[in-house]
Amino acid sequence: MTSANENGSAHPDVRTEGSTDALPLAPSMGPSLDVARMPRRSTLVDKRVLRITAVCVVLGVLAALIAKLLTALIGLVTNLAFYGRWSTAFSSPADAVPHLGWWVVVIPAIGGVIVGVMARWGSRAIRGHGIPEAMEQVLLNESKIPPRITFLKPISSAIAIGTGGPFGAEGPIIATGGALGSFVGQVVKVTGSERKVLLAAGAAAGMAAVFSAPIAAVVLAVELLLFELRPRSLIPVALACVAATGVRYALQGSAPVFQMPVLAAPGGMALLLYVILGAIIGVVSVWTTRIVYGIEDLFEKLPVHWMWWPALGGLVVGLIGYYAPLTLGVGYTNIENIINGRLTLATLAFLCVMKFVSWSIALGSGTSGGTLAPLFTIGGALGALIGLGIAAVAPQFGVDPRIAALVGMAAIFAGASRALLTAVVFAFETTGQPAGLLPLLGGCTAAYLISALMMRNTIMTEKIVRRGVRVPSEYVADYLDQVGVGEACTRDVVTLRATQALAEVRRWLAEGAPETQHQGYPVLDENERVQGVLTRRTLLDPQWHYTLTLGELMTRPLIAVNESHSLREAADHMVAESVGRLVVLSKDEPHTLVGIITRGDLLSAHGRRLREARKSSRHLRFRDGLKPRPVA
């Protein structure tokens, strides 16, 4: 029960019933309704959003420069490790394998040792591909990432990838951009929600700068980092991605990252087969996730310190790289070759298997690197294999192995991460292939469906869920924001008069006042205007003199809500004012009492939603032949 002091009562008066001490009384009437405290109307955006947006635009520019710097750093480490030359030009480790021989096995292991040392004495947070760690900070730590991650993550990733690690640069850049945004949010005075926007803006801008895919980057932020879709978060993140992509255009041009020729639009049968292909890739994505975390569990059982695990993973990477050089490094060239049909059937099969083994062991060892590029390589190669098989067996269906590769590339990411829209838009933006858009939507949705049926968590969330973090999996509109106070409030309200003496009210309570659903009584003046609320506890408190009128017990402004306010606004108002009930006033006659809204009413408002959910569950049980439960 909320005390009357919380609802507008006067300060305690030491007089008690029967006393004749002439102590000063409280004011003759309660506060004016004109100063009633009402909830603030929620707005889509305000002037503060402009400030956050300006900061995010700067973050976008910085993230693009960091992306360029990290790419150059990866090139430098690759050239030093595999070619012994000082150059930041992008080079593939595969070309150095014939000249290095068995030294190829040692180089990734050396990189693993360095990453392990940095993780142990720098920050353990640099391990992994970065996105789960960013999600964890958003959900548990008000988006506060240690500032040192801004420097350690890109350096460790550049070393791991530059020495042959089978990862993409996008994961570390996303993590670095997020860390930069978080750091700015800890320096600048912002709220936890605004800091989350800064983190997401930095991360999304990093991805936009790497792949020239601003729309996919925005959707990625919504699906994996923001856990919301609101104008006050969407606008800053979107403009940060625009700024980052603009910088990329200025530095590297506007051509798609993975260029493809214009292909013919698929027919009906081909489209159906692309959807089936997506479902098959969805099954593969589920087992890919399970195997990756199974390998991680095996590393946990090793009788050596985790600092040495990246080195052990590096040995496997080097050994596989000796026999399959294309598995080394970021492999962006491999992706472009796959979706353009430049690789033979045998090469595709060998690359798909070897890349998966190398990447899954390296990632399970806890080194630093990304997941997007390896998944795209594996899924693209598998899609191309299936597409080639269909084209050879049934050419009349019109399946293009290049579109099949594109669908496989995106579908495996959609299934593994369940970032459906990100996968579709990303594949379209990075290739500029309009003919692939519909197959992408069908195939990725099929993969998403299979993943949701077979797997509870994703490759992005499994790690942090194991640590007890609850990750939102569905984004729905706030139910309380959809219901008006007037629909849920209690209208059958017992009221009191400001002119009534306390003694009279106490006799009324003692004689058995009518049962009500509320423990607070609105007090009205002679003109039926609401003056405040008094609780039963206050009315019976012996410290108040029996000769006082109810109007004299109220000195603080009325805490009220309008019937047109939403339940969300009412709930927030209760929390802000530390009360458990609010007087509800008419929207047409603001001085007129409509009822009372309590915490219990807020909970009861969910009844309709729960009944609908139960009816749906009942229908499903009945359809499946199960005995339905009665619905309340």
> Rounded to 5 degrees, what are φ and ψ at 560?
-140, 175
pLDDT tens-digit readout, 308-341: 999 999 999 999 999 999 999 888 889 999 999 9
Per-residue pLDDT, 531: 82
Do the domain assignments include residue 631? Answer: no
Per-residue pLDDT, 214: 94
Are 286 and 388 contained in the same domain? yes
Are 110 and 207 contained in the same domain? yes
Residue 587 domain boundaries:
4-30+480-607
Neighbours of 370 (CB within 10 A): 29
Per-residue pLDDT, 143: 79
When pLDDT is averaged across residues 480-499 and rounded to a whole number, the result is 86
* E strand or H helix at 484: none
CA of residue 149 relative to chain centroid, distance: 20
pLDDT band (50, 70, 90) for residue 514: low
- In the chain, the N- to C-terminal Cα span, in Å, equals 28
Q: What is the 3-state secondary structure (H, E, C) of 173-240?
A: HHHHHHHHHHHHHHHCCCCHHHHHHHHHHHHHHHHHHHHCCHHHHHHHHHHHHHCCCCHHHHHHHHHH
pLDDT band (50, 70, 90) for residue 6: very low
Do the domain assignments include residue 549? Answer: yes
Cβ(158)–Cβ(188) below 8 Å: no
When pLDDT is averaged across residues 464-492 and rounded to a whole number, the result is 82
Are 25 and 132 contained in the same domain? no
Residue 11 has pLDDT above 50, yes or no: no
Are 503 and 364 contained in the same domain? no
Residue 397 has pLDDT above 50, yes or no: yes
Do the domain assignments include residue 39? Answer: no
Do the domain assignments include residue 450? Answer: yes
* E strand or H helix at 494: none
> Structural domain tally of the chain?
3
Per-residue pLDDT, 14: 32
Per-residue pLDDT, 28: 41
Q: Of 212-216, 546-550, 564-568, 592-596, which range is least confident?
A: 546-550
In sequence order, what are the residues at sequence separation of 6 or more whose Cβ sits closer than 8 angstroms to the Cβ of residue 467?
A: 136
What CATH number does the domain containing 525 carry? 3.10.580.10
pLDDT tens-digit readout, 262-291: 888 898 999 999 999 999 999 999 999 999
Rounded to the nearest 10 degrees, the angle between the axes of helix 372-393 and helix 170-187 is: 150
pLDDT band (50, 70, 90) for residue 492: confident
pLDDT band (50, 70, 90) for residue 41: low
Residue 624 has pLDDT above 80, yes or no: no
pLDDT tens-digit readout, 81-113: 999 899 888 788 888 888 888 889 999 999 999
- Residues linked to residue 372 through DSSP beta bridges, in sequence order: none
Per-residue pLDDT, 543: 83
Are 275 and 313 contained in the same domain? yes
Do the domain assignments include residue 618? Answer: no
When pLDDT is averaged across residues 517-543 and rounded to a whole number, the result is 81
Q: Of 10-14, 119-123, 270-274, 533-537, which range is least confident?
A: 10-14
Do the domain assignments include residue 234? Answer: yes
What CATH number does the domain containing 374 carry? 1.10.3080.10
Whether this prediction's pTM lies above 0.85 is answered by no
Are 165 and 295 contained in the same domain? no
pLDDT tens-digit readout, 409-445: 999 999 999 999 999 999 999 999 999 999 999 999 9
Per-residue pLDDT, 34: 53
pLDDT tens-digit readout, 166-211: 888 777 888 888 889 988 988 888 888 889 999 999 999 999 998 9
Buried b (16+ CB within 10 A) or exposed e, 472-493: eeeeeeeebeebbbbebbbeeb
Are 301 and 170 contained in the same domain? no
When pLDDT is averaged across residues 378-393 and rounded to a whole number, the result is 95
Per-residue pLDDT, 630: 43
Are 231 and 151 contained in the same domain? yes
State the residue for tokens 């460790």: 156
3-state secondary structure of 578: coil
Are 497 and 460 contained in the same domain? no
Q: What is the DSSP string of 530-573?
A: EEEEEEHHHHT-TTS-TT-BGGGGB-SPPBEEETTSBHHHHHHH
Are 180 and 213 contained in the same domain? yes
Are 25 and 121 contained in the same domain? no
Rounded to whole angstroms, the Cα distance separating 260 from 433 reads: 7
When pLDDT is averaged across residues 133-145 and rounded to a whole number, the result is 77
